[in-house]
Amino acid sequence: MVNRLGYGLLYLTLGIIAIFQVYPLVWLFFFSLKDNQEVFNNSPFALPTSPKWENYTKVWTEGNISLYFFNSVWITTVSVLLTVLLASFVTFAITRMKWKFSKLVLGLFMVGLMIPVHSTLIPLFSFFLKVNLIDHPLSVVLSYTAFNLPITIMILMGFYYTLPREVEEAAIIDGCSIHRIFFQITLPMTAPVLSTTVIINMIYNWNEFVFINTFISSDKYKTLTVGIQNFIGQYMTEWGAIGATLMISIIPILIAFFFFSNRIVEGIAAGSVKG
């Protein structure tokens, strides 16, 4: 009886927390279907009397949101793939190979966790300016990759230490090269934790604002986070359209998190227990 009461209170508490977390998203969705008259004359909690789906069409075509959305997709995808691949290389070299400076290299990567992003903006801007990468998407991809490598390596390392070495030793006896061991044996075995790192990197890259706003000035390379700012400045009086723009920027992350949230927990849990 006591256990049932405890579980009941727990589920009730979690349900209330879930409502408070989900409600702003629901409110934003209904807000995006209103026009200015409904926004200002009706209660902010009222449902739209006549949903204005054309708000989404307008921002997608007239507001240049389709270009910003495409830029967010490909920049995020390239950055995530590059980060996860390089982090896997580093983690494999540190945990599965014996070499003199492995601990020093690991320490240098972990120092990256302590460097504030904002303290690097001026040096990075100066560097990219010298190599002609200002207003070029490569500057953003390199920045995302560099700053996400430490946390990605840290997550991967916990999982790599749990992998049995016997599989790799057997492959070596059979004459397998180090490259084949990594790509055909080790990398597939780390699929659960790779899913975790992909999702975490994707959420960070998709929502990132500082690097894009600092290094990119042309509209053709801007992502949704900066593009929304431009759109709001251009369509300040059309609140329904602004709501639709914000909703478009949120939907991909919501979908990804909804389908892969269990992977995040599984990957972190798998790498937290050694042996």
Residue closest to 88 by CA, chosen among 15, 14, 197: 197
270 has a pLDDT exceeding 60? no
Res. 2 pLDDT band, cuts 50 70 90: low
7-11, 18-22, 43-47: the lowest-pLDDT one: 43-47
What is the Cα–Cα distance from 192 to 167, expressed in whole angstroms?
A: 18
Domain-located, residue 15: no
As for how many domains the chain has, the answer is 1
- What size, in residues, is the chain? 275
Other C-beta atoms closer than 10 Å to the C-beta of 26 total: 10
The reported pTM is 0.84
**What tokens appear for 177 in the block?**
């090269």
54 has a pLDDT exceeding 80? yes
Please write down the HEC assignment for all residues of 153-219: HHHHHHHHCCCCHHHHHHHHHCCCCHHHHHHHHHHHHCHHHHHHHHHHHHHHHHHCCHHHHHHCCCH
What is the Cα–Cα distance from 121 to 220, expressed in whole angstroms?
A: 22
Is the Cβ–Cβ distance between 148 and 208 less than 8 Å? no
Domain-located, residue 188: yes
Domain-located, residue 45: no
Give residue 207's domain range: 61-272
| Domain CATH for 232 | 1.10.3720.10
Domain-located, residue 18: no
pLDDT tens profile 83-124: 999 999 999 999 888 888 888 998 989 898 888 888 899 999
Domain-located, residue 78: yes
Is the Cβ–Cβ distance between 226 and 243 less than 8 Å? no
For residue 262, what pLDDT is reported? 67
For residue 250, what pLDDT is reported? 87
User: SS3 of 27, please?
Assistant: helix
Q: Which amino acid is at 23?
A: Y
Domain-located, residue 223: yes
Percent of the chain topping pLDDT 90: 28
Res. 275 pLDDT band, cuts 50 70 90: very low
Please list, residue by residue across 61-71, b when 16 or more beta carbons sit within 10 angstroms of its beta carbon and e when fewer do: eebbbebbbeb
Domain-located, residue 37: no
pLDDT tens profile 183-224: 888 888 888 888 889 888 998 999 899 999 999 988 889 998
Domain-located, residue 6: no
